[in-house]
Structure 1
């Protein structure tokens, strides 16, 4: 049985296991950023992640993938799969069930981490 989750953002439907029943459109990918804890330097001072440069690549896990985009009438699927760990640049922040995600275009994904 599915439950309807509501927030200030458009509602998202999830099943009882928490799996997404939302699929990004086109070549978009929904990524859950894997947050690093603050880095500890030699002196023992902990530098919080919030003090870092937010413009660099970030690490995340793919949670939903769009069907792809058309190139000369042929559908080219997205090159990542659900569960892949990726390095990505920017995206639009979304909050679903109090968890932050980023909706990113496939072109903003720099690499798949093996």
Structure 2
């Protein structure tokens, strides 16, 4: 005959750190980015751009996909590759929990 062993009850309080819900970042698009979105759709790059935007909404500093800090006229902005030619260029405003997408076509024009 086998006896069932009674599991000891764990009455100790849970001291795990409080997990706060992750709030997605708000994404705002410039007029140029809205125009670029139409070009991306025609070029068949909309799914790739959408995937990058989802990564940004979760955390704009997540890597991969790799991002780079831009210099010159776009100093303070970041970019991520949509493909070899086109990039998603954006600014991050942590105080407002907002991402401003400037371009989604190419930043070399």
Interval of TM-score (by shorter of Structure 1 and Structure 2): under 0.3
Higher strand share: 1
User: Could you state the TM-score of these two structures normalised by the residue count of structure 1?
Assistant: 0.21
Q: Which has the larger radius of gyration?
A: 2
Higher helix share: 2
User: Could you state the TM-score of these two structures normalised by the residue count of structure 2?
Assistant: 0.21
